[in-house]
Structure 1
């Protein structure tokens, strides 16, 4: 962003502090900002009640989909009164035309930050999952699908109460929320474009490859299962290095049980059975409703609370079982079936019980509050240490470079090693820098994380290291919110000019996964440069061209997509194929398009062969 525009944005954000919004909300302080706007702490002056006020950027009107999503978030939030969902209070426009949303203020930390401390005790994790499932029962009862359930969108207060926030990506049926909208609503409330996927990859269900419209309420249950799996084990079932690998593992492999991913963690078999049911690849193999999932979670909680503290793990037995389960797993069996066979655990009746759907009013969303609070706190309290750490890292790196140059000029003795492998000291430095980058990223200390990444790049081709790709993408996205810091320019220059085709792959992932954020927009600009396109691999070029092409031009790219594309193009093709069509004559209708189906099959065949 140009300096003048940045200064103007900062002045506008500060100008609201101390002012009244809609004659009733006093703006106390700016507590965070993100790609869509800013969040303030405020007070409802007549009720003396603390609130959060989210303000959308004025230029958002140029992105109508963002405005529509913001408005629907407000409408959905106005219909909720549930103890585990942060409710929306008010919605409107400021004098300058900016949209604002007033929500319940939640004082707490994100579940993600709490999970970063390591595996939770089993009962504590289950009680968190119980609250989330209870919230989903209410949400789904109104025909709303959250579609972005993740630890960062769950706030944990001092009393261990969970609040579900951020319904910005939800699928909302407005006609089901109010009779007033029944006559005016023309579609099913989907806010996504054919071929587009939003959200956080780690918690997305496998069916997301068909597009956002393919995700129903069972997709939220999948995300809940991944969160519970991670709370219990400290790990996720799939921890791929990049988006492409993640979806490939999800689609082709059964999720491994906790006992396989984290063998040192003791999780009772009934609890593992519930988790595995939630995260099945096929939606039909999961619990079919949030009410079913809630019943199963509550049943294992009761069972564990009644079990003797020093006794063995509780294993419920089905009274109707006619003997033991087979220990051999039939070919093609799901991981849920495989888990039962390996552990000898029967599926208890309570795990399959269906409870009545609870009818309560619904609501949502407090966007970016916690993330922004973390950003503000770390930027103010850790800025000095960030710079000291980065200077220290840079000094160590330069010292290594100087030492290496001096050594290379010295005579080589007959005893000198001929291997080009990195020294032990360098290897230790690499691991230390990676760990620093991960920790700083988790704390949203983007300057520290960026400088650790830059130091790593001086030692090894960091963009090619897929084991930390997700962290790299997070750092690139985070440092973009520090446009005036010198590390920001260095980071984007690193991946544009100094990291080869792997660096361009990182920028593509930023552009796709970070959408309208500063980082996503900047990555898009870089990837459109002619010289960058020339340096890109054929697979990346066709992924970019296909993504940018109009519906009619996409048809002309199908042959190249099949012959040059990779999983990135396959995801786009499948999303087009699965998108709903307002009319078969619509040029963007690919649902029954023969050439598109042929291209998908040809690309699948080629990818499997490789």
Structure 2
């Protein structure tokens, strides 16, 4: 129950439904047998034996390939013969079309999604019966990855979660305004379409069990009386408490599901789990969810508070409208993107300028300091009439001095690899200050080094200051300078292995190289190197050159880094 499942390959609209195309008894209704074996779709290589391939449906759609198959039907890619447009074709089996409830739910999905023309909803475009029985539903084809599959790979950053949540809340705002409550919002029913800029667009699928309130202007749909008070229908772990207990539902029930999704996006794991449905619902109805701040220190208080309210067991404790949730999530996502843009564009530009100014302006700075001091001395002896002009000159000199000092700060010039420069600058911003009492090169006392090297592996006298700087230095430029001094030391075998590995890690530019060095530090098992590994852990996971791509430059080393840190923590606990 606690594990996520999903196809490894990319999926398209409603492919995540292929294991239960309108299979409400097996996939959604809580009273179904939880131990029933899942339906396994036939392998793709059997497509040539599928009689649907090549068939013309309703003289308009030519079936091209099968995307998935389940106990209730199948989903295909089809082409509109006249428009030459690819669509997703959802088929319900003939033997099941005679089941009034199943047929009505299939028709309901067609009618509901056809009314919701929205960029974050996969809309239905056509619907009709098949000659041999059964029915088909034509849906917009959107290729992408299911959110369930994405979360099986790891958590999202909180800005990504806000962006995703804002899109989902946008879709719910439109649906709720039409009197439609989805009732089955979950990662399996959310598709992530990749944009050209590397970002994503969420699409909500499967309105097959939606509740329709005609008083809000929703269209009449087949089977409007299918779900009654006391009947439990939905997905365990995502349906709201009132939905799980058979009580009446409204728009706030969808907002509860959205809260679960946001929590899982940030935590990277299921919120509600249990060995069976009884245990799962028992926990959901009696336990408070862990705060999302547990999974990240930088998560805004506003976001944590919103998720907490969304997960309220009582509908009255949740936000009233999806539009309220949408506004807050989009604002938080925008603020994160704006800050990211400033960090990714302004900072490299300033550091490059700083390096040029630092080299060229040092004589000017020295001269200005001397001239300004002398000018103040002269000012004391000047007549009032000439004092104003001299004050203006002094002010201009001081302004220039301030500009030079600000621009030529402590940041290092950007490296050729923008991603490395951005990662280094972001990580350095959160690091602790370098120790004030770090020893000089000629200081024999190493008591101020942070942390001290073991006696069994002494640091050469002339490297003691460099060792402290490369391990705990605040500025990336200073750490790299120290690392270069360490790697250039002669004889090389006089440098302790742990110190050499930390220095090489600081200088490495490629993810694979850093990963190999992290592995070596983990195998060495010396807790002394922990600050260096913790610094790598702070590298941003969603900024890699293009601030809109939210790609992780360092994804190749994350798992190895966690293992290495765990080894060092274990060694520290044992007093090694």
TM-score for both structures, normalised by structure 2 = 0.48
Q: Normalization by structure 1: what TM-score?
A: 0.46
Whichever structure has more helix as a proportion of its residues is 1
Rg comparison, structure with higher value: 2
Higher relative contact order (CA 8 A, sep 6+): 1
